[in-house]
Structure 1
Amino acid sequence: MKKVFALPLVMALAACASSQADLATQDDVDLNKYMGTWYEQARLPNSFQRECAGDVQADYVMEANKSITVTNRCQSTEGGVKEAVGEGRLSTSASPVDPAILEVRFAPKWLSWFPMVWGDYWIMKLEGDYQYSLVGTPDRQYLWVLSRDKQADKNTVNELLDYAASQGFAVEKVVQTNPEK
């Protein structure tokens, strides 16, 4: 497996950092239920996933110290598999602490003290007892629709995208991860 280059990813995630707090998030998120494998169904285009052609998935594991190991994988445009391993944590800027407001870092651990390497990861909406997740950033530049199954219910995905539109996201630019042929 090829490793995704960290520098462009770090730069892209740094661009996610925002002080805007007007983005609605899901109430009462249980991070233990959120852990596991999620399959991307749709996303706003972004530079760090430019080489992802399909089969995008994210695996989340809660560690003993309450950090989250994040492993992102996708089928590359060249036919191989791209992988990036990072860390997630509760946002240091959310007060009070909100388990729906997370930060992720794919930069080397020795850079973790630098705030710009942490990108926003806000759980906006959950559906079907943690079967679907809508994740975005408060600057409205990044958006993902995730599901527990590789093939998601199209109506649920569209409902989540409609909700994202009501929150100010440019859903007309969204790309389907594995479009129907």
Structure 2
Amino acid sequence: MRPLTTLLAALLLAGCASSGEGPVPPRTVGMVDLQRYQGTWYELARLPMYFQRKCVQSEAHYSLQDDGSVGVLNRCRTTGGDWIQVNGRAIPQVEGRTDKLWVRFDNWITRLFPGIAKGNYWVLYLDDGYRTALVGNPNREYLWLLSRTPVVSQKTREQLLEVAQGQGYDTDLLIWRTPDSAFSSVPSP
């Protein structure tokens, strides 16, 4: 019995020793002026994400609500040219801070698990003109390079990549937006 107790105690201590703070989370921008942030953002690139597996072009439409939350409408174009969309809502994770939001979408997952089905939306970079942004999550699994336009200059693209790499994101895995020219024969909604 003593060896079993010793083994369990050792495992418990090992678990405690390895459950330290872990990797340092990425830095956020501090405050985001949600009034300026609202509007349309085009996804230039993203890290692979299950819910976007069929998307080749994505955009997000944000609108500030009277209660301080942000209405979210995400649209994506599939390889077949069809548009799909989902509505959601974003709220600050900490009262008074607008750089870290919880986003909850209106879908079967959030209806099934209302208390836990929310995603981290951390604004990691935002240029002074609110024209480009990097959004990710604390464990660096997700990353979106966003712009107010579907295409940016090579210089802007390199700057966004540099910031993402500096924050510890693996930019080699990014999935880039399919150009509009690939859909020239498909009408837009």
- Give the TM-score normalised by structure 2: 0.76
Q: Which has the higher contact order (CA 8 A, sep 6+)?
A: 1
Structure 1 residue 115, shift from structure 2 partner: 3.5
C-alpha distance 113-74 of structure 1, shift in aligned 2 (>3 A): closer
Please state how far the C-alpha of 1:128 moved relative to its aligned partner.
4.3
Tell me which of 56, 68, 71 is aligned to 1:53: 56
Alignment map for 1:26-105 (pairs within 5 Å) = 26-54=29-57, 56-91=58-93, 94=94, 97-105=96-104
Q: Does 1:23 align with 2:22?
A: no
Number of aligned residue pairs: 159
Measured after TM superposition, the shift of residue 26 of structure 1 is 0.7
CA distance in 1, matches of 2:158, 2:178: 14
- In 2: Cα distance, 1:115 partner to 1:20 partner: 26
1:3 maps to none
Alpha-carbon distance, 1:101 to partner:
0.5
| Superposition TM-score, scaled by structure 1 size | 0.79
Offset at 1:40? Answer: 0.6
RMSD: 2.5
Opposite residue 83 of structure 2, the aligned amino acid is V
**C-alpha distance in structure 1 between counterparts of 2:74 and 2:115, whole Å:** 21
Larger Rg: 1 or 2?
2
Deviation at 1:35, TM superposition (A): 0.4
User: Once superposed, which parts of structure 1, at least 4 consecutive aligned residues long, lie more than 3 Å away?
Assistant: 107-115
State the identity as a percent. 35
Alpha-carbon offset, residue 179 of structure 1: 5.3
Maintained 8 Å contact 2:72/2:87? yes
| Contact kept in structure 2, 1:127 and 1:133, CA below 8 Å | yes
Aligned residue in 2 for 1:7? none
> How is 1:115-130 mapped onto 2 (pairs within 5 angstroms)?
115-130=115-130
